[in-house]
Amino acid sequence: MAVLTRPAKIVSSPAKWRSHGVSSLFHKLPGVSYTQLQQYRTLWDIFRKTDFGSYDVLDNTGEVSQAQPVPSHIACPVYFETGEPAEGPSGPELKAEWQVDSMRESCRLARLVMNTVAENIKSGMTTEDIDVLVHNKIIENGAYPSPLNYHGFPKSVCTSVNNIACHGIPDDRKLIDGDIISVDITVFYKGYHGDCCETFIIGDADEAGQHLVDAARKCRDEAIAICGPGVPFAAIGHKVEQVARRERVTVVPCFIGHGIGTYFHGPPDIYHCYNNYPGTMEAGMTFTEFLIDLWYWTL
């Protein structure tokens, strides 16, 4: 039997979307002071001249193919048609228990897809191959790949290799031994987005690369450990920065975690450096992630 499919109406060309390398991350955010950003800019000027081990630096995006089609029976978010998401809540959402259960279901599916990536990722594979693998696994499970056409994003997953901090666009570059790649998967399932990201080392990383991955894991685990009702949102950033400095790595200050639910991105904003973002965590809130870079603290 033929399966009806719909091409995503990508509202911008792939060239409009650029993977975010660490040298382009510095702009004003409301929860971070200008003094703090200037410190990060100064550190970047110093550390971009420093040897951080052996890895392939990505200067240009490879060839990006057309988006994968979506079968007509798949329930899609509104931006599948328009590229523009619906407006989310005005403040952090306190989800009811049934909504949290729905989030767990979506996140379990995202984890299942990530496990499929973990079983298959290897040297010689392209990030385009990963996109096809992720897209097909999500569709197979009756869900929609959330990144696809979100503000015109041209692919179904974000694949960020080496010096690409986040939002990397899958292309025809082959992974090579020593690459470090973060795969960011989000699924839209039964009306809720479930998000997870994992970093993989292709083959054998050098000592600096392995240290970066280990340090990021410590930052994540220690930040999660302090979360709970009544804890300030800002405490997450303070803890992450403390651990990062202890491990002699730094936080990418200009991308932030965010609330998630029936909306892909919403409040609260979760900063992962020292910040003064207002508000406290409460039961029923759901939010996401941070970025760690290998900029050694040597001053």
Mean pLDDT score of the chain, rounded to an integer? 83
CA angle 268, 271, 200 (to 5 degrees): 110
pLDDT band of 102, cuts 50, 70, 90: very high
The string of DSSP codes covering 214-233 is HHHHHHHHHHHHH--TT-BT
Res. 49: pLDDT tops 60? no
Identify the residue whose tokens are 């599948």.
80
DSSP 8-class letter at 61: -
Residue 176, class by beta-carbon neighbours within 10 Å (0-12 exposed, 13-18 middle, 19+ buried)? middle
Residue 268: cis peptide before it, omega within 30 degrees of 0: yes
For 103-144, write each residue's pLDDT tens digit: 999 999 999 999 999 999 999 999 999 999 999 999 999 999
Gyration radius of the chain over CA positions: 19
How far is it, in rounded angstroms, from Cα 47 to Cα 80? 40
pLDDT band of 295, cuts 50, 70, 90: very low
Domains in the chain, please, with CATH? 33-54+207-299 (3.90.230.10), 105-205 (3.90.230.10)
Q: What confidence score (pLDDT) does residue 77 get? A: 97
How far is it, in rounded angstroms, from Cα 173 to Cα 171? 6
Q: What confidence score (pLDDT) does residue 150 get? A: 95
For 159-179, write each residue's pLDDT tens digit: 999 888 788 999 999 999 999
Res. 42: pLDDT tops 50? no
Residues 6+ apart with CB under 8 A from 94: 282, 283, 284, 285
Res. 272: pLDDT tops 70? yes
The string of DSSP codes covering 171-194 is -SPBP-TT-EEEEEEEEEETTEEE
Percent of the chain with pLDDT over 70: 76
Mean pLDDT of 171-191: 96
Cβ 176 vs Cβ 202: under 8 Å: yes
Identify the residue whose tokens are 């509202």.
11
Cβ 88 vs Cβ 157: under 8 Å: no
pLDDT band of 24, cuts 50, 70, 90: very low
3-state secondary structure of 71: strand
Angle between helices 97-120 and 127-140 (to 10 degrees): 140
Tokens of 24: 């382009």
Q: Which of 4-13, 75-84, 284-293 has the lowest mean pLDDT?
A: 4-13
- Highest-scoring range by mean pLDDT, 55-59, 272-276, 286-290: 272-276
3-state secondary structure of 98: helix
Res. 32: pLDDT tops 70? no
Q: What confidence score (pLDDT) does residue 44 get? A: 43
How far is it, in rounded angstroms, from Cα 141 to Cα 220? 29
Tokens of 136: 């097909």
